[in-house]
Chains A and B, each alone.
Chain A
């Protein structure tokens, strides 16, 4: 450890760190544009200049290594004046079109101007014209007039994806970031990171263009469930206005840095594929096609159906179709309930079929918890349609993927042979009106729990959005069902939350014990 002073405050920091990180750890964020922890310092924006005692010029916080006894000033008048100077330069040729810029509210240029600038424009020359509304990719628009030339986009495409679509062209005041060929598109599955990396409104998302203002959005952290990488994300949703109904809640998804899982990036599938959270959702309980708001009644009805089979010693004629979309806790509860307590005849898994992954984050799995299911001892047994046809009286299906794995006529053919069909799913599908009981459940974004990613990294998540309509999390339904069955009432009463279920799991399964987050 090394002792330094920031703004006369004594601070102990790790050797080898930079002034920027030492200050950040001490709760003193230093303004910056070009610096990003994923890349080596470039030192070009000149926004992070600080004063260091004994050094004649202002120094770059992003690249300067701390030394024992160093005295750093991040807020004195000389530093503030330098930052004002840089801001004035960045704004001189800037179009100042904040009212129609999607970055407004998230823009570092705006934020720092509030903090350091607040000057009238002293630039009385004619501004240079640059490229506007350049289509940069399927999801991206490029505005060269708003660019501050931090080169984060160029570095990302060179160093992270290795695709190198963009470079720096011309020099001096004509310098611009552009694609190498006119009309060239940034065509990789990570292009959306450019919009998130851009500290200003130079690269923006097309799907977010003119949709809303960022200050109306509330962000909640969650885990992307669209593949088994389990990237940490933040979901930004609009609460709506009192007198104006919005067509949707979710307006965008951004990556959250998780060094062991996704680093600071996410793929475009995860970033732009958020419409499932608002569209085609199952939001009401449907019993024989009739809407019913009463959860207790629905659980009791299901419990009674199961118990009837139990009393007739026909539990082996209960089939359950599970889903790797379920959390660790839910898959654990399913094991307790269906295997240990009831000993049902068959448990299958129905998951979306694997697709091609890539060598960065996207895995072939299109469900988030295949690894968790394995660690919990579940085997990936595909649905045996013969067994459903001939040996099933009650079929309990989790998730939306079963109906896509088989033809609808085959499934409905089975249903004719089965006394009771129950579907628990967040999504409205062709089976919704065909089952005896439809229970609307929540996607990962609307519940709490944990997932185990492809590499065995365990991550907890909390609800980022409220549950839509009447939908409820599967873990709570499983607990309620356990209580209603009254086989081990005390046990299920004790498991009142995902945390409590997790506690139970760690005691039973060593994998989860050593992976407590």
Chain B
């Protein structure tokens, strides 16, 4: 079977080894890029593929690369965001576990395209085994001449380093990731300047999600048109959806951008366990506003989810059944963002613990009339007013939960 999907090697024995990958025509695209193509050709192909970032924000990758100023005497860096901290998300772990060489090949091509000689993979600390696998893959690739000095006799040099995070959600935010990588406290930076001009160690930097980079060899292999045609006109390719919750077959599913959310849950993931009824779906990681069952007849792409006032985010689909208490869901959401706020800017630092305290009190049976309105008011004072996206990531799901499940939440209040 031809390699036409990111998930092609998932769960295959030995898929992570160089021998396996070479047997599947691995690193052929890197060879092609380095020997036959110019960086401009590559950039045009990535732009034409309409590859959008897979980390959550969905920014077009080619456009991002294009922002990096060419020339200049400063080195440039690639940071691969493997922090994968968004609750519900586990797709990048699959890529790094089963296809580390695909990621490395993507890194080589991307770096050659942008003129980068040093790449960092910032991986969440908990992924210790995965980090090990990446280190092994890097060693293998270097031994084979795919990394290091003068790669494949092309004159191009590239070193790739794996850096393990220390467990903070905020370090998945690209500028906090840079701070953390520099050895500082992981606080997001004020933008502008954007990392493309002033990033890691004050140098031009590209930051992309693992899945984004892993798509690059496929784009080169089959052409941007093929890639584009798999998805939607302005949002090419497939996406890895990590389905969790009480479905019959939770796991990672690769579907074209624009596939049906309902199909994902009821066909691919096998529908609800034990004949339970679907109560709600969080469609793109915990930050994505929750959808009720009557809202899930929707296509999985950025635009249609935005229309539904939610977001595709990291493609992590969290399924919730009738047994779940929405107050408990709200408590988990509020606890998480309160715990993970970096504490730098006022609305997020104070607003999230405020909401957490109120929800905790409600969960202890001491909720009062007006609590929900107050939570919404506080969330609205966070929304759009913080330095980094974490504020919105906290406020949006809380606003959606308190709006869509207001009646259920109100049953926990006394007078």
Contact = CB atoms under 8 A, between A and B. Distances in A.
A binds B: yes
Contact of A92 (B343, B354, B384): B354
B400 interface: no
Interface size class of B (residues with CB under 8 A): 20 to 34
Contacts of A174: 343
Contact of B385 (A49, A128, A173): A49
A352 to B, nearest CB: 45
Contacts of B343: 149, 168, 170-175
Contact of B342 (A63, A148, A172): A172
Contacts of A85: 347, 381, 385
Contacts of B338: 172-173
A60 B358 CA distance: 30
B5 interface: no
A44 B185 CA distance: 15
B140 interface: no
A171 B346 contact: no
A96 B106 CA distance: 56
B357 interface: yes
A145 to B, nearest CB: 13
B93 interface: no
Given A43-B345, A85-B381, A125-B358, A172 B340 contact: yes
Contact of B344 (A44, A126, A128): A44
A90 B387 contact: no
A86 B349 contact: no
A85 B339 CA distance: 21
B352 A171 contact: no
Please classify how large the interface on chain A is, using the bins under 10, 10 to 19, 20 to 34, 35 or more.
Answer: 35 or more
B353 interface: yes
B351 interface: yes
Interface string A60-100: 10010000000000000000001001101110110000000
Given A45-B345, A63-B190, A90-B350, A172 B357 contact: no
B190 A149 contact: no
B164 interface: no
Contact of A173 (B350, B358, B381, B387): B350
A43 B192 CA distance: 11
Contact of B346 (A41, A63, A90, A168): A90
A123 B374 CA distance: 9
B353 A86 contact: no
A126 B357 contact: yes
B341 A173 contact: yes
A380 interface: no
Interface in A19-49: 41-47, 49
Contacts of A125: 354, 357-358, 361
B298 interface: no
Contact of A172 (B352, B358, B361, B387): B352
B387 A171 contact: no
B357 A88 contact: no
A36 to B, nearest CB: 15
Contacts of B386: 46
Contacts of B347: 46, 85-86, 89
Contacts of A46: 345-347, 385-387
Contacts, number: 93
Interface in B376-395: 377, 381, 384-387
B162 interface: no
Nearest to B186: A171
B190 A173 contact: no
Interface string B324-363: 0000000000000011111111110111111001100100
Contact of B353 (A58, A82, A148, A173): A173
A45 B346 contact: yes
A125 B351 CA distance: 12
Nearest to B361: A125
Interface in B39-84: none
Interface in B193-216: none
Nearest to A63: B190
B346 A58 contact: no
A44 B345 contact: yes
B168 interface: yes
Contacts of A245: none
Nearest to B342: A171
B353 A172 contact: yes
A89 B350 contact: yes
B168 A171 contact: yes
Contacts of A128: 353
B271 to A, nearest CB: 38
Nearest to A174: B343
A490 to B, nearest CB: 65
A186 B203 CA distance: 34
Nearest to A170: B343
Contacts of B377: 122
Nearest to A92: B350
Interface string A101-116: 0000000000000000
A49 B344 CA distance: 16
Contacts of B368: 124
Contacts of A90: 346, 350
Contacts of A9: none
A92 B352 CA distance: 12
A172 B351 contact: no
A173 B337 CA distance: 11
Nearest to B185: A168
Contacts of A63: 190
A312 interface: no
B373 to A, nearest CB: 10
B350 A44 contact: no
Interface in A171-228: 171-175
Contacts of A149: 343-344, 346, 349
A243 interface: no
A172 B354 contact: no
A311 interface: no
A514 interface: no
Nearest to B340: A172
A171 B338 CA distance: 9
Given A89-B347, A124-B368, A173-B343, 12 more contacts: A44-B344, A44-B387, A57-B385, A122-B377, A125-B361, A148-B346, A168-B343, A170-B343, A171-B170, A171-B342, A172-B339, A173-B349
Interface of B: 168, 170, 185, 190, 338-347, 349-354, 357-358, 361, 368, 374, 377, 381, 384-387
17 contacts: A42-B190, A45-B345, A46-B346, A57-B384, A58-B385, A63-B190, A85-B347, A86-B381, A88-B381, A89-B346, A89-B347, A90-B350, A149-B344, A168-B343, A172-B353, A175-B342, A175-B349
Lowest 9 A-B CB distances belong to which pairs?
A175-B343, A173-B353, A85-B381, A125-B357, A89-B350, A172-B341, A43-B190, A171-B343, A44-B345
